[in-house]
Structure 1
Amino acid sequence: MGAQGQDLKAGQGAPRRRWQWRWRRLLWLPLLFAAFSVLQVIVLRWVDPPISTVMLWRYGEALVQGDGGYRLHYQWRDMERIAPSLPISLVAAEDQRFPRHNGFDLQAIEKARDHNARGGRLRGASTISQQVAKNLFLWQGRSWVRKGLEVWYTVLIELLWPKERILEMYANIAEFGDGIYGAQAAAQRFWNKDASALSAAESARLAAVLPSPRRYDAARPGPYVQRRAAWIQRQARQLGGAAYLQEP
């Protein structure tokens, strides 16, 4: 083969090598993301987050809507500085099998599926672990991509964090009112007190607004919040109170 043919062949091979190199880079992306997400979860087992993606999302939403006066209220409190009535109220309201499942409550999923199949108001089955994964790391909205990432982060959280850390995280990043995140900010904004001083009734009201914290008001509860808070208190007592969360 002459020099001209060899040059032509080399010229044709160069684009192929470039594409192969690009594909190899793409194949590395999932591995890099997996390593990064594992590192995220490991770090946050001990480091308290300064903010969550849900907070950032809500702040951006306010800016887009032209609400320049919008403010985030968020103060971290370790579990021992939160009234014991709040964690058990959250579990009674949101995820009663929390101490026993591994991130996904299959019984609740089955019940929700049967309920939704019969029609009426849709019922979800997200666990506290799933809500922590979504609120801490992901964005708002519904999509298969976001749901897949939620599952991935939930698995990591359950593998790498103790249950107490998961619940501590939830109590601190859950939204209890528009722009009000966590037990400490809610206690101060609603009742001018520290999270450690929350009463059982106040804790139940905070848990009661979680389905729609921008719609319902824990400080001035309407009939729905009052009924739901009373139900949460009954459920918390039936579960055994704060001692329920210390069971293996």
Structure 2
Amino acid sequence: MAKRTTKKTKKTPRRRFRPDRWIMRWTLRLVSVVFLLAVFLVVLWGVFNPPTTYYMMQESRRLGGVEQKWADMDQIAPVMPRAAVAAEDANFCNHWGLDIAAIRKALEDDSGRGASTISQQVVKNVFLWHGRTWTRKVLEAAMTPLMEALWSKQRILEVYLNVAEFDEGVFGIEAAAQHYFGVDAASLTPTQAARLAAILPNPQGRSASNPSSFVRKRASQIVDGAATIRADGRADCFQS
């Protein structure tokens, strides 16, 4: 009778658990998910108008409601976007979202003033949250060039004018024009547009309809600045 031979199975050695590789693998997966989500949101709000923002929702809960009505760029007086750019980001057409020269100057002056571009403000208002945390700053710096790559300059400025805060509970240029002057955004005069642009850095502490001497002086400078960027071509990227 033949003896039955049994084949010895070779045991597969167990892989040793490497915490560093596990952390690296899941970090890369997390970064990929965050990146794809960012791309999705940027593409989404590049096509559709954001119905609200995180800050607007906070203010709505606090105040019991906010004023906001969307106005497309062709429903806004052409002088308004020029005034906003002249006031907040004169090199808007010449940078890719981050104004390196302004950032360098702010660092030399040991101040953050003037370093935030209109594009960065849109990213903060639409996609992120208000605050000075490093997490928000890093996300803002990463998302701003992405938005600049996927949106036109005109779209960036259109969204900016529609989500910016102009008074407590007053968001967007259409609501601001009606709130301060009783007109729609298409009917704003150069002086009215300049006053609205002048209050943007401190909307709850300044008034466009009852301007202080500082706001009047600043608005006068903005009127000149808006005319200058129109003449020298720095408004060409968002206006024909």
Question: Would you say the 8 A contact 1:88–1:242 is kept in 2?
Answer: no
Aligned pair partner of 1:98 in 92, 101, 104: 92
Does residue 214 (structure 1) correspond to residue 204 (structure 2)? The answer is yes
Kept in 2, the 8 Å contact 1:174–1:182? The answer is: yes
Deviation at 1:25, TM superposition (A): 5.0
- The answer to whether the Cα contact below 8 Å between 1:41 and 1:160 also exists between their aligned partners in 2 is yes
Deviation, structure 1 residue 241: 5.6
Please state if 1:29 is matched with 2:40.
Answer: no
Aligned: 1:139 with 2:129: yes
Q: In structure 2, the residue corresponding to 1:176 is in which secondary structure?
A: strand
Residue 37 of structure 1 and its aligned partner are, at CA, apart by: 0.8
Change in CA separation of 1:147 and 1:72 when aligned onto 2, cut-off 3 Å: same
Residue 172, structure 1, aligned to residue 166, structure 2:
no
Asked if the contact 1:77/1:184 (under 8 Å) is kept, the reply is: yes
Identical columns (%): 41
- Corresponding residue for residue 88 of structure 1: 82
CA RMSD of aligned residues (A): 2.6
- TM-score, scaled to structure 2: 0.85
Q: State the AA in 1 paired with 2:47.
A: W
Gaps of 5+ in 1: 1-12, 63-68
Matching residue's letter, 1:113: L
Superposed, which structure 2 residues align to 1:156-195 within 5 Å?
A: 156-195=146-185
Instruction: Give secondary structure in 2 for the equivalent of 1:74.
Output: coil
Residue 186 of structure 2: aligned partner: 196
Q: Aligned ranges for residues 19-58 of structure 1 at < 5 Å?
A: 27-58=28-59
Q: Distance in 1 between matches of 2:112 and 2:163?
A: 25
1:111 alignment counterpart? 105
Relative distance call for 1:213 and 1:27 in structure 2 (3 A) is same
Looking at structure 1, the residues matched to 71 and 195 of structure 2 have their Cα atoms a distance apart, in angstroms, of 19
- Deviations along 1:55-98, one digit per CA (max 9) or x if unpaired, are 123334x2xxxxxx532111111101000010000000000000
**Which residue of structure 1 lines up, in the alignment, with residue 119 of structure 2?**
129
Report the Cα distance in structure 1 between the residues aligned to 2:51 and 2:202, rounded to whole angstroms.
23
Counterpart residue type for residue 32 of structure 2: L
Equivalent residue, structure 2, for 1:65: none
Q: Gaps (5+ residues) in structure 2?
A: 1-13
What's the counterpart of residue 3 of structure 1?
Answer: none
For the Cα contact (< 8 Å) 2:82–2:230, is it kept in 1? no
Q: Which runs of 4+ in 1 moved over 6 A?
A: 20-23
Point out the structure with the larger helix share.
1
Aligned residues: 225
User: Equivalent residue of 2:220, what SS?
Assistant: helix
Alpha carbons of structure 1 residues 183 and 21: separation in structure 2 relative to 1, 3 Å: same
Does the residue aligned with 1:28 lie in a helix, a strand or coil?
A: helix
Instruction: Tell me how far 1:26 sits from its aligned partner.
Output: 5.4
Q: Cα 1:44–1:247, aligned 2, differ >3 Å: closer, same or farther?
A: closer
Equivalent residues of 1:85, 1:242 under 8 A apart = no
How many angstroms apart in 2 are the aligned matches of 1:115 and 1:28?
A: 39
1:190 Cα deviation (Å)?
A: 1.3
